[in-house]
Structure 1
Amino acid sequence: MSRNNRWKTLDSQSVYSNAWIEVEHHQVLTPGGSEGIYGKVCFKNQAVGVIPVDKAGNTWLVGQFRYTLGEWSWEIPMGGAPHSESSSNCARRELEEETGLIAGKITELLRLHPSNSITDERGVVYLATELSEGVQQLEATEKDIQLKKLPFDEALEMAQQGGITDAISVAGLFFLAMNRHLI
């Protein structure tokens, strides 16, 4: 079977845009030959997550209320990297902003597409080690953030038991669990 793009765009319109996303409506011809519609959410930033791990094997999670879900969420520290910013710089910046930690060493773990059936969002996860303390610098929208310092294995267990459901966090934690030699 061919892995070439067999979709054909017949018409495309931007139906909504803000500082973070653009929503597009597409009239398409599907690989099967029928006409249809496709909605696409285009992200204006790359999602960047970072898993800090100290010498004792502890990590930090960020807890916050997620308006879109209507519920509290435990996650690895993360944020958005504008296209003008490298993802590694974003990882360092978000780590310090959300946790107050400064990474002496940062290592890319994986790249992923968190929800590729409806968005073009791209994500990347880093490991932060050789940690030192800085100053937490929360943005106005992050004032409800809570930090949880815990052994890495407890964070992994939270993900396995459904206590962490954010896709980038789960993927990053599982990837690192399978590649512990990187810690």
Structure 2
Amino acid sequence: MTDNPWTTLKITSLYENPWIRLEHHDILNPAGKVGVYGKVHFKNRAMAIIPVDQDGNTWLVGQYRYTLEEYAWEIPMGGGPIGQDLLESAKRELREETGLSAEKWTEVMKVHTSNSVTDEVGIVYLAEMLTQGDTEFEETEILQVKKLPFSEVLEMVMRGEITDSISVAGILKVARILGY
């Protein structure tokens, strides 16, 4: 069944900032009963990049994640405003966080980060034929960047050292594409 079995009765915006909007939905559920639903609407599309050089190396970005209250290693990623070309946003983000630019870009997957509470959509790209330049960190970013063999990054996923959902999904997909 592909038709929407939910009926929206009313949407109330509870909170908004430049990145998200929190909504309260009064609904009729698929059984026809009155209920509620909370939704976090993202104002940007998530994009993540897995750069891989000719020697099979990739780059990870480490930073303290405020919402988790812990340090995390993940693939380069960021947000691109809805309505702007997502690939251009991905190119900008890769350059800002790693200093890299790539000649070859392949979209490898679309992912929903938490489809029970948010409409966030993420796109993962494989970036190849790389050229190193300078990073351009944003003022809110204190990042560590490290270059590692892709096989080692894959093992970090398997050991649970990389936990960001887009990073995990993207690394596993690219591992399959590259034959790991």
TM-score category, normalised to shorter length: over 0.9
Counterpart residue type for residue 160 of structure 1: M
Equivalent-residue separation in structure 2 for 1:148 and 1:141 (angstroms): 19
**Which secondary structure state, in structure 1, belongs to the residue aligned with residue 94 of structure 2?**
helix
Q: Is 2:152 the partner of 1:154?
A: yes
Following superposition, the deviation at residue 126 of structure 1 comes to: 0.3
Segments of 4+ moved more than 2 angstroms: none
**Which secondary structure state, in structure 2, belongs to the residue aligned with residue 68 of structure 1?**
coil
Equivalent-residue separation in structure 1 for 2:101 and 2:121 (angstroms): 24
Equivalent-residue separation in structure 2 for 1:157 and 1:98 (angstroms): 23
TM-score, length of structure 2 as denominator length: 0.97
Aligned to 2:62: 63
Following superposition, the deviation at residue 154 of structure 1 comes to: 0.6
Equivalent-residue separation in structure 1 for 2:82 and 2:113 (angstroms): 18
Equivalent-residue separation in structure 1 for 2:47 and 2:35 (angstroms): 33
Summarize the alignment of residues 1-183 of structure 1 with structure 2, pairs less than 5 Å apart: 2-142=1-141, 144-180=142-178
Following superposition, the deviation at residue 84 of structure 1 comes to: 3.1
Following superposition, the deviation at residue 63 of structure 1 comes to: 0.3
Equivalent-residue separation in structure 2 for 1:32 and 1:153 (angstroms): 48
Counterpart residue type for residue 155 of structure 2: E
Counterpart residue type for residue 75 of structure 1: E
Residue segments in structure 2 that go unaligned for 5+ positions in a row: none
RMSD between superposed Cα atoms in Å: 1.2
Equivalent-residue separation in structure 2 for 1:58 and 1:80 (angstroms): 24
Identical residues among aligned pairs (%): 55
Aligned residues: 180
**Which secondary structure state, in structure 2, belongs to the residue aligned with residue 135 of structure 1?**
coil
Equivalent-residue separation in structure 2 for 1:140 and 1:95 (angstroms): 16
Following superposition, the deviation at residue 114 of structure 1 comes to: 0.8
Residue segments in structure 1 that go unaligned for 5+ positions in a row: none
